[in-house]
Chains A and B, each alone.
Chain A
Amino acid sequence: MIDLDISYTNTSLKLVIRLQSKAMILGFSGDSGVGKSTLFNIVSGLLEPREGNIVIDHNVLYDSKSHTNILPKSRNIGYVFQDLRLFPHLNVYQNIKYASSSQQDIDEIMELLELEKLINKDIKLLSGGESQRVAIARSLASAPKILLLDESFNAIHLTQRKIITRKLKNYIAQKKITTLFISHQQNEIKSFADEVYTMQNIRGIVKMTR
């Protein structure tokens, strides 16, 4: 369950987001620069909204009235950034293991994302699709309660993408991970997400419509 009521303003953007949903996977679409990644940065705690509240699965992550603002490291979030941000000095296995202490979880996630053959590969030598799969694996390995996927499949080969998104959807349902998903591809977002929202800039204010 997700309950967002956020106001956020910076020099180029004004976001007013109100959203309540019981769906497991929520998809977000919208024009480039409309503020989708900003929304994810707010949910993850990397940006602080001006006011409002963020409640996910009854956990209050942010509430301006009670001055609650849980730090990113304590939000139990797996965030797959659009620019991935893999650690360049660690290999594939070390990146995935970064936030996990369970070898069993790592093995399961490596199999899910078909990474077994890349285990010792240098991060700098991965293709775009391989890097995206490693980034997804690293986020899942932290056993998140909330998963943020920002354009996380677009570099994966189409055939493999279909298999992985299907397996990932099952994994999310099995582990009950509330997932927010950004994509520009309408077919993908409709097939992956349970509910789809569109972010639109209406007279200078970015709002969410379903």
Chain B
Amino acid sequence: MITLTDYEITVLILSSKVAIISSLIISIPAFFLGLALATKQFYGKSIIDSVIHLPLVLPPVVIGFLLLIIFGKNGLLGSPFYSLFGWSISFTWVAAIIASSVMSFPLFVRSIRQSIAEIDPKLIEAAKTLGANNLKILKTIIIPLSKNGIISGLVLSFSRSLGEFGATITFAGNIFGETQTIPLAIYSSLQDPNASHVVMRLVIISISISFVALFISNRFAK
């Protein structure tokens, strides 16, 4: 039985907090965006699709930099926010959540979109002839039949948030107890030649969590 140190517990709790909150925050917009992309044809669909997927192809540092331009103390939104509240989002745990949310959003949308696209549209037609309105169809057909995709997306998003490094260190920094998640703690410990055992323990913790998350995701993806 491995006993975790106070340092590891602090890092683990912060990582879990960031991953859980960011996954929950994006779940509703990801669901409706996945629904729209799977079922609707609309002007600008391919542009929206491309923008959503940018975090998957861009270097995470670029995303972090863009977030800094937008939400930084002198950023487009960050500056008026700082003037109003006297508080800057960047280099706080909120910034870590924003970075994680942006990086994991495309995975969540893809998972939901795929599961909704697999629903036979004929079932929706049948529900319409039985008098069901859009809300009833959503509640009784779309959500139950895409349940696996929703859970799988949630787990994938959680895992992606746990592993997030580049955007977080750029936008939120590497502050112990505030923004230092597991990958950042591993990075910090790597700088210390005497902390190789700390690195190894954090790596084991990281692999264990990711393995369990992917196992759950795969079970629901079937």
Contact = CB atoms under 8 A, between A and B. Distances in A.
**B129, B132, B133, B145, most chain A CB atoms within 10 A:** B129
B135 to A, nearest CB: 11
Chain A contact surface mostly: loop
A117 interface: no
Given A87-B141, A89-B145, A99 B131 contact: yes
Contacts of B127: 87, 98
Contacts of A77: 129
Contacts of A46: 125, 128-129
B39 interface: no
B122 interface: yes
B140 interface: yes
Nearest to B125: A46
Interface string B125-167: 1111111110000001100110000000000000000000000
Interface residues of B, number: 16
A152 to B, nearest CB: 14
B200 interface: no
B9 interface: no
Interface residues of A, number: 23
Contacts of A99: 130-132
B125 to A, nearest CB: 5
A161 B145 CA distance: 33
B123 interface: yes
A131 interface: no
Interface in A33-66: 44-46
Contact of A89 (B130, B131, B132, B144): B144
A142 B126 contact: no
Given A73-B132, A81-B126, 20 more contacts: A44-B129, A45-B128, A45-B129, A46-B125, A46-B128, A71-B128, A72-B128, A72-B129, A73-B133, A78-B130, A79-B126, A79-B129, A85-B123, A85-B125, A87-B127, A87-B140, A88-B123, A99-B132, A139-B130, A142-B130
Interface of A: 44-46, 71-79, 81, 83, 85, 87-89, 98-99, 138-139, 142
